[in-house]
Amino acid sequence: MTTVRVAGVGLTHFGTHPERTSRDLFAEAGLTALEDAGVDRDDVEAVYYGNFMGELSEHQGHQGPLAAEALGVQAPATRYESACASSGVALRQAVRDVRNGEADLAVVGGAERMNNLSTAESTEALAIAADDLYEVRAGVTFPGAYAMMATAYFDQFGGTREDLAHIAVKNHENALVNEHAQYQREISVEEALDSPPVADPLHLYDACPVTDGASVVVLASESYADEHDLDAGVAITGTGQGGDMMALHDREDVATSPAATAAAEEAYADAGVAAGDVDVAEVHDCFTIAEVLATESLGFFETGEGVTAARDGVTTQRGDLPVNLSGGLKAKGHPVGATGTSQVAELTKLLQGDHVNSKYVPDARVGVAHNAGGTVASAVVHVMEAVE
């Protein structure tokens, strides 16, 4: 099997773009990525596109061909849907296809348009990633679902709202200089604690925003990269995916994320690394408690110990293991279908040393991207490594 190289990346600004279509956003990110890679679009052999709510927000299904068309690419194109993990799942399939010789050059990414909907409409659209029969019809939304997970975590392992506030503060600080971030605004612990409640114990600054945006990664086989003399110094060396029961009430424990644990274990084994080898991570912090669950599932902390990591400085910019140097979903934003590949784009820049926050991880060699769907009924983990 070939080593899969990241040849180029592209991102739009994450924020409010209600007047722009998802295909327009994807075109911007994709053309940027192709230019960054320095490849001929005629060489692209497949397009993998992540999108979650296109039927609801744009009355548009069958989006794969539209994604390819937006890039001016004549190649088979497929849309992948796995809620908030849509482009992470698309990336996993692309990595496996490049490894297996199905394609030497692939475009993979995602886009989401959400701010053309009202708050009530976008909340309802997002809610369909939960179990409609037993959760959505009972009034469950994702702030409420993650609030239940936070409450269960506090009850089993301890932790406070102030611990979660430190995560929000950290990620807002990381986003300050990220030109792609939706919120380039510093907040304090006091502001986070005093912000309006959303679903107890979660408050406004515990939640990610509603976001429009797109992200694209160009993948190349090692042979293609060598033959075309590409500057592709980052490889995706491990990939893993896990699953769990859809509805929270069907799970044995809602204070942990076994799907993410399974995905991490598979990805680490695939790459031949361990959690202790990881230098930097981008994790799915749709809510502050989600970052806690993610870092524990990835093996960075024992179960019940991740909640104080930001407060103790471990996961901050100057900590031993910086997490979400992009700003994360919390501050960079969460255009659902684009989030998975946006994490990989950010990590690529961090490992190459050309990210605005690379100075905090100058010697980083191994990164991990963690992308989750729903209340982590789906999870995808990718290991990335700087290579010669």
Catalytic positions, written as ranges? 84, 334
Distance CA 271, CA 219 (A): 17
In sign, the C-alpha dihedral spanning 331, 334, 335, 339 is: positive
Distance CA 216, CA 292 (A): 27
In sign, the C-alpha dihedral spanning 167, 289, 330, 8 is: positive
The C-alpha angle 29, 35, 37, rounded to 5 degrees, equals 100
Distance CA 214, CA 137 (A): 31
Phi, psi at 318, each rounded to 5°: -105, 15
What's the DSSP call for residue 21? -
CA dihedral 289, 294, 295, 301 (to 10 degrees): 90
DSSP states of 261-318 = HHHHHHHHHHHT--GGG--EEE---SBHHHHHHHHHHTTSS-TTTGGGTTTTTTTSTT
Per-residue b or e along 350-359, where b marks 16 or more CB atoms closer than 10 Å to that residue's CB = bbbeebbbbe
Distance CA 90, CA 372 (A): 13
Of the candidates 20, 10, 14, 89, the one whose C-alpha atom is nearest the C-alpha of residue 48 is 89
Longest C-alpha distance within the chain, in Å? Answer: 57
The C-alpha angle 126, 180, 41, rounded to 5 degrees, equals 90
The C-alpha angle 210, 215, 220, rounded to 5 degrees, equals 155
DSSP states of 228-250 = TT----EEEEEEEEEE--SSGGG
User: Do the Cβ atoms of 218 and 11 come closer than 8 Å?
Assistant: no
